[in-house]
A and B are shown apart, each in its own frame.
Chain A
Amino acid sequence: MQGIIRTIRDGSGFDILLLGLALLYLIIFSAFPIVYNIIMSLQTVDMFTLTSFNRPFVGLQNYYDIFSQPVAGTIFWNTVKFVFLSIVFQLSIGFGLALFFQQDFPGASYLRGLFLAGWIMPALVVGAIWKWLFAGDFGVINYALTSLGIADDRIFWLSDPNVALYAVIIANIWLGIPFNMILLSVGLASIPRDVYEAAELDGAGAFERFRSITLPLMRAQLGAVISLGVIFTLQQFDLIAALTQGGPADSSNVAQYWSWQFSFQTYEISLGSAVSVLMIIFVIVVAAVYVRSTRHEHSY
């Protein structure tokens, strides 16, 4: 007994204890739900059999059912567009703002803090506000566009099937910019000033400094921001629920919302699980790419 206590207090026992707690946490809150989800995607599950494991096993039938849905292709491409465009613009605008606020001017840090307001707001609230802005008949954006003469006629942002997805993407980009900016600002701040000064003395211009110092040294942060961005974008549910609910005619529907629709609108929980398993696989691939790309990093 004494031995156990001693090893826990100052020995390998302490390491094992800490490791064990972390592992236990991961097993209960991450591994179990994922495994449970995978099991459900291989069974026929409805609301009434949610609490028992004893359910008919159907193999890959649920996956087959998903891919044979007529909207599967639309939703796949919508998800790709949603993630890709959101990330590209969140990252480039966020990076641009981070570089801007890195400059020394009065109030720079206060203004940077203000940008966080958007990130603090719940996506449902953001969705409600964008819904007003985007509204077809009485929306602020349409009013601005028509009175400035940019658009002749109102654009029905949320009910025109050719536009709805992009409206949701615009709102999502706005929501994601502060997060990108803050993370990248931290990265920029950690780059030593003297590297820039040395480069400047060697005659490197602003663009050259950005290309050969900032970008390579920001690689780890950019990788982290991109992979977190992919995960956040694939999680983005509230905004879609508040803005278009995937409509009209599934033109702005994406995988995560589709999964929810299966599980909670038509109660086909096994189909909903199958969609989310596919999404998990995709996120694992993204995470693996990220981990690989930063493996050879050495810190300053």
Chain B
Amino acid sequence: MKRVMKWIAAASLLISGAAQAEPVTLDIWTIDRPDQYMYLLKDEFEQSHPDIKLNIKTVQFRDMVNDLARATATGESPDVTYIDNPEVALFASRGLLLDLSPMLADSKVIKKEDIFPGPLSSVTWDGKIYGIPRGANTIALYYNADMFKAKGLDPDNPPKTWDELYAAAKKLNDPAKNIYGLAFSAVATEEGTFQFLPWLQMAGGDYNKVDTEGGIKVLDFWGKLLDEKLASPDTLIRSQFDSTGTFNAGNAAMAISGPWELPRMGREAKFDYRAALLPIPQEGATRASALGEGDNVILAKSEHPKEAFILLEFLYSKMPDVWNRFGFVPAANVKSNDPKTPAIYAVFEESMKYARNRGPHPEWPKISKAIYTAIQSSLTHQSDAKTALGTAQKQIDAVLNK
């Protein structure tokens, strides 16, 4: 036994002598599964940075905010973590995230000017930058070109305005074959708000101003789609993933969803699927699009902010590959390396220019709840669009003016 102990002691001496400096270990939290983003980049990073080791822990997406809040309260927070776009303000406003502005000013890898305005606004709080987008996503109109042809519509000329969208949905709708014109999500969660906001923004309005003429117009339009069964009544309870599933199965001719669907669509959709920009209220109206995905942030309490920032720079430098490898749209003005499904990529790349952040506001979930509650009570005809949006506006004002 004693001899074994001696060997161990000698071996550890050797090892510590060989390595010049003790490697720094960064604790990383992520929502990724082992075949996704952070895990795939870990090896590459550790190879190019032998003095930094990564210790990755997966946290479920829905638990991230709660777990992170608890960890910061008990002092067990990681060095670097993923945070979903609308939640950055919550943590930044409490001083829990490291202000990256000084390091960004000196960085040779990350140029603040390159980051698109939407993603940049999602990591900005009170004029300071608290995170680096790892990529972005947005929504667009997917359509089944085969069905377009079958119904005498021109697949090279997808709907551009809401009127055209309605007309196409009506034409494509085929109850006898279980085909709805359009699939989207008006579910009573953050996803419902995510899908609704760009429509509102295009029609005049935003998260802080929902009781507008435009807001009423959107809800009436959505209501018309549901009442005439051009979209399934289950739109009210389906997530975006479930809605798009019906499109992939050929039970909806068009679907509004994001690039995260493409891997599954490639496997399941046995037809010619294409994408177009989200239709606008009328010719010449302002465009808008949703902004999704999340950011890599450094916790204020991290003991290795310098190394953590090196990791953030490394992750940012992968932006030209995020489309092909992880299904994100680049959040910055970079040239993607030979993007897969180039036509669809071009649509999402352009949408990205119109993508607007949700908030930012530290109490975003309350604002979001007011919005999706209004959507649901209007679409179920429990109140008309004007009343529903008026109620939501009161709740939003109460949050904003606190």
Contact = CB atoms under 8 A, between A and B. Distances in A.
A58 B317 CA distance: 49
B233 interface: yes
Contacts of A137: 178, 232, 234, 246, 251
Contacts of A266: 365-366, 369
Q: What is the predominant secondary structure among interface residues of chain B facing chain A?
A: helix
B208 interface: no
B237 A249 contact: no
Interface stretch (A25-33, A83-91, A152-160): A152-160
A247 interface: yes
Interface in A22-62: 46-52
A77 to B, nearest CB: 14
Interface string B331-360: 000000000000000000000000000000
A161 interface: yes
A247 B188 contact: yes
Nearest to B381: A161
Interface residues of B, number: 30
Interface stretch (B12-20, B136-144, B260-268, B372-380): B372-380
Given A135-B234, A158-B237, A247-B237, A51 B73 contact: yes
Interface stretch (B1-9, B62-70, B196-204, B284-292): B62-70
Nearest to B94: A48
> A-side binding surface: helix, strand, loop or mixed?
loop
A138 B232 CA distance: 11
B234 A50 contact: no
Contacts of A247: 187-188, 236-237, 376
Contacts of A156: 233-234
A47 B73 CA distance: 9
A20 to B, nearest CB: 31
Given A158-B234, A159-B235, A245 B66 contact: no
B73 A48 contact: yes
Given A137-B232, A158-B237, A50 B70 contact: yes
A73 to B, nearest CB: 13
B72 interface: yes
A159 B376 contact: no
A265 interface: yes
A135 B245 CA distance: 14
A264 B391 CA distance: 23
Contact of B382 (A50, A136, A249): A249
A246 interface: yes
A248 interface: yes
A227 interface: no
Contacts of B251: 137-138
A70 interface: yes
B189 A47 contact: no
Contacts of B94: 48
A159 B369 contact: no
Interface string A64-104: 00000010000000000000000000000000000000000
Nearest to B368: A266
Given A47-B66, A264-B66, A249 B377 contact: yes
B380 A265 contact: no
Contacts of A49: 73
B157 interface: no
B170 to A, nearest CB: 18
Contacts of A251: 380, 382
A246 B65 CA distance: 22
Interface hub of B74, B233, B365, B382 (most chain A Cβ within 10 A):
B233
B237 A161 contact: no
A47 B70 contact: yes
B270 to A, nearest CB: 18
Most buried by B among A51, A244, A266: A266
B73 A245 contact: no
A267 interface: yes
Interface string B226-239: 00000011111100
A165 to B, nearest CB: 13
Interface string A253-289: 0000000000011111000000000000000000000
14 contacts: A47-B66, A47-B69, A50-B73, A137-B178, A138-B178, A156-B233, A156-B234, A159-B236, A245-B237, A247-B376, A248-B379, A250-B188, A265-B365, A267-B65
Given A158-B234, A249-B377, 15 more contacts: A47-B65, A50-B69, A50-B73, A51-B70, A135-B234, A156-B233, A159-B233, A159-B234, A244-B237, A245-B187, A247-B376, A248-B380, A249-B373, A249-B380, A265-B365
Interface of A: 46-52, 70, 135-138, 156, 158-161, 244-251, 264-268
The 9 lowest CB-CB distance pairs between A and B, nearest first, are A47-B69, A249-B376, A248-B236, A156-B233, A159-B236, A161-B380, A247-B188, A266-B365, A249-B380
